[in-house]
Structure 1
Amino acid sequence: MFEWLSNSKWTGISALAGIAAIYFESKRRKLHIKKASTPSLALPKSEAHELVGRFVAIYKAHGIERMQIPRFLGDNYGLKIAHLETDEKLMHEISDTILNYTCSSFGITRNWLDGVKSEIYPYKYYDKNLRGFIDFLESIKAEHGEIQAFVIKCESDRLQKDESRFHVAFVFRGLLYHWDDIGEKSIWRYYPLNDTLCWGYTRTRIQIKAMVLVLWQFNIHPFGCVLPEKDVNNLVEGLVFPEPLIPSHWVAWYPDDYIFAEGESCQVADGKEALAVREEMERMGWMKYLIEKTGPLRVPHRKS
C-alpha cells in the first residue's frame, strides 16, 4: 500500500523538505536573538557628541538659548538655526574656528571644551599679589567698560575671626553685549578667581579686605552673595559656570562695610582692622601703586 515511500524520488524530496525546515527554523531563531539583543548593542555617545553638549552648555550658562547661538555668532560663521535642530546636525556644522571664537568670547579653556580638563576657566590667582590684582582690574575694565564684582561667602560662614576655613570666592563679570533694550538682556563674560581665601584666617582676611578696597577705588561696588559651601568651593576651583548660581543671591551681605575706619562711613564693621589693612598695603607698596592708578583714597564721608 505504501510502496511509493520506497521510491527514491520521494525519498529525496522528503530529505530536501527536512533540510529546508531546519534552515528556516535556524533563521527564525537567529532573527529572534538579534532582535532581542539589539538594545544592548547601542553605542554610548561619542566624544564628538559630548563636545557638542559642552558647546551648547557654554551658551546656556551665559543666558543664550540654543536657537540664539547663530544670533550671537553673526553671519560670518555660517551657523544657521536649522543646524541646531539636533546634536548630530550641529556636530557636522561647528568648525574649529567657531569653537575657538566661543572660548575666546567667554574666557573658557579650550581643553575643557575638548574634554581634556575639568577646569572651565583659566587659572587666576592673586593671593599675596595685590599689584597683579590691580593690573587685572585695570585690564578688564578697559576691555569691557562695565564691570560687576561678587564676593561670595558660604552659608555657614559667620565671618568670625575663629580660624574657620570657609572659602570666600571672588567672581567678576564684564559686559559683552546688550540684547534688546538696555537692562532687559545683558550678555556677560565671567572671571572667577582661584584664590583660596578664608575670612577666619587673619592673613587671607586682610587680603580679602584689601581686594575689596581696591574694588572701591576702581568704582566697583561688590555684591555680597551667599551660597552653599559646595558651590563656593566649585567656583574657587573653576568647575562650574557662575551665572546660574549668582543672580538670585545678590546683596546678602556688604563687603565694603569692612574697609572703612570710624568716621569714614555710616556702616563700619571693623574700623580697627580696616586701618591695619591699609598699613599692610603701605608696607608692601600696594597702596602707592593703587593711588597711582586710581587717585587718592576715596571714602564715603571725610572726617571733619
Structure 2
Amino acid sequence: MSIVGEATGVIGLLGKAWNLLRDRLDPAHAQAKRLVETFEAYGIARQQIPRLLPPELKLPNAAFSTPDKLKDKVTHELLDWAADHLAISRSWLDNVDEMPHLMEDHYKAPVGYRDWLAKRLELAPNVPRYLAVWKPLGQEIPSGHGPLCLIYEETTDGLDGTEFTRYWQLSNHWNLHHAPCLENLLAVIAVTRSLGILVLGSDIPIGLLQQLEAGKKLIPDVLKRQCGKWHPEDLIDPLPGQDTKWRQELWSGAQGYLEDSGIVISNLELDRSAAEPAEQ
C-alpha cells in the first residue's frame, strides 16, 4: 500500500473515532443525526423532510441540512411525529434503545398475529401490504440454519409520485434450524393468507440478517440486498406432487398452535386463490 493510501486509511479511522466520540459527548447531535439518517434510509432526502411536517412542526429546509443545524430545533413533538410517520421506535430515536423497528412478536400465539393484522387492515384499509419471510441466502427449510425474519410491510403514496413503505418486525430471533420456529412460521402464514394478505419470501445474506436482529441495520437497507425469491406459501399449500413428510410434520405442529389459540382455518382459506390481497 502507498503512503497516500495508508494516510487516507488512518484519516478515515480517525474520522470514525471522532464521530463516535462526538455522539457520546453530544447526545443532541447524535439524536439529530439519527433522525436525518433514518429518513434517508427510507428514501426521503433531508431537504424533503420539511415537506412532510405537519403545520405545527414546520421548519426551514436548512434546519435539516446537517445534524449541527438541526440539534437545537429537535423537540419531543418532532420526534413523536417522526417515530409515528416511519413506524420506528421512539426510544431508539432517543438513542436509549438498541432496536429501531417496532416489534410484534407473538411466538406460539398466532391469535396475536391475527388480531394485530386485522387491526392494521382496519387502520389502513386501502394500501398494498404483504408479509415478507427472510431466510439466509443458500439455506433451505428444514435443513438450513441462521436467522428467520418475518417483516410486515405497508406501502402508501410518497412524494412526487414515489412510494413510501413502513415496516414492522414480526419475529424476534427466530432460527431456521429450530422446529418450533418453523411451525410458528407456518401458523403465521396460514393466518396471514386467511386475511387476504400476500406472503413473499426472499433470500438475504446471513450477515445482514444478523445485523438486523442486533439492531445494527434498518429494514430498508437490508431489503436492498435481497438475492433471491422463494414461496413460503408452499409450506402450507404445496404444489401437486411436491408434498413431503417433514412439511406435514411442521404443518401438524402449526395446527396445534392455531388450535390452542382458538383459530380454525378452513381449506378454502388456505387455497392459493385466497392469498390474493383483498385490498388491491
Q: TM-score band (shorter)?
A: 0.7 to 0.9
Q: Does 1:129 align with 2:109?
A: yes
Work out which of the residue numbers 118, 128, 135 in structure 2 matches 1:138: 118
Work out which of the residue numbers 150, 174, 181 in structure 2 matches 1:204: 181
Matched-pair identity in %: 19
Work out which of the residue numbers 142, 152, 155 in structure 1 matches 2:134: 152
Equivalent-residue separation in structure 1 for 2:165 and 2:237 (angstroms): 30
Using the size of structure 2 for normalisation, the TM-score is 0.77
Contact 2:111 2:258 in 1 (8 A): no
Gap runs ≥5 in structure 2: 1-20, 275-280
Equivalent-residue separation in structure 1 for 2:164 and 2:140 (angstroms): 33
Work out which of the residue numbers 206, 231, 235 in structure 2 matches 1:229: 206
* Partner SS state of residue 44, structure 1: helix
In structure 2, the CA distance between the partners of 1:299 and 1:44, relative to structure 1 (3 Å rule), is closer
State the shift of 1:96 in Å.
1.9
Moved more, 85-94 or 99-108: 85-94
Q: Aligned residue for 1:175?
A: 155
Q: Which amino acid aligns with 2:272?
A: P
* Partner SS state of residue 225, structure 1: strand
Q: Which amino acid aligns with 2:170?
A: L
Equivalent-residue separation in structure 2 for 1:200 and 1:131 (angstroms): 24
Equivalent-residue separation in structure 2 for 1:193 and 1:300 (angstroms): 23
Q: Which amino acid aligns with 2:53?
A: L
Deviations 1:65-124 (A, max 9, x none): 100101111433121112223332222223221111101222222221121121112443
Equivalent-residue separation in structure 1 for 2:164 and 2:268 (angstroms): 33
Q: Does 1:260 align with 2:232?
A: no
Q: Which amino acid aligns with 2:193?
A: W
Equivalent-residue separation in structure 2 for 1:276 and 1:297 (angstroms): 17
Deviations 1:159-189 (A, max 9, x none): 234xx542210011223433333xxx11122
In structure 2, the CA distance between the partners of 1:275 and 1:74, relative to structure 1 (3 Å rule), is closer
Q: Which amino acid aligns with 1:276?
A: S
Instruction: Count how many residue pairs are aligned between Structure 1 and Structure 2.
Output: 249
Alignment RMSD (CA, Å): 2.9
Contact 2:167 2:219 in 1 (8 A): yes
Q: Does 1:166 align with 2:138?
A: no
Equivalent-residue separation in structure 2 for 1:279 and 1:132 (angstroms): 15
Q: Aligned residue for 2:22?
A: 44
Contact 1:212 1:255 in 2 (8 A): yes
State the shift of 1:239 in Å.
3.9
In structure 2, the CA distance between the partners of 1:278 and 1:126, relative to structure 1 (3 Å rule), is closer
Q: Aligned residue for 1:244?
A: 221
In structure 2, the CA distance between the partners of 1:269 and 1:239, relative to structure 1 (3 Å rule), is farther
State the shift of 1:296 in Å.
5.0
Gap runs ≥5 in structure 1: 1-42
* Partner SS state of residue 252, structure 1: strand
In structure 2, the CA distance between the partners of 1:78 and 1:282, relative to structure 1 (3 Å rule), is closer
1:1-304 mapped onto 2 (5 Å cutoff):
44=22, 46-145=26-125, 146=127, 147-161=129-143, 165-181=145-161, 185-247=162-224, 249=226, 252-260=229-237, 265=239, 268-270=242-244, 272-273=248-249, 275-277=251-253, 279-281=255-257, 283-288=259-264, 297-300=269-272
State the shift of 1:44 in Å.
3.4
Equivalent-residue separation in structure 2 for 1:272 and 1:296 (angstroms): 18
State the shift of 1:267 in Å.
7.9
* Partner SS state of residue 287, structure 1: coil
In structure 2, the CA distance between the partners of 1:60 and 1:283, relative to structure 1 (3 Å rule), is same
Larger Rg: 1
* Partner SS state of residue 167, structure 2: strand
Contact 2:202 2:230 in 1 (8 A): yes
Contact 2:32 2:70 in 1 (8 A): yes
* Partner SS state of residue 117, structure 2: helix
Contact 2:110 2:261 in 1 (8 A): no
Contact 1:79 1:94 in 2 (8 A): no
Contact 2:205 2:225 in 1 (8 A): no
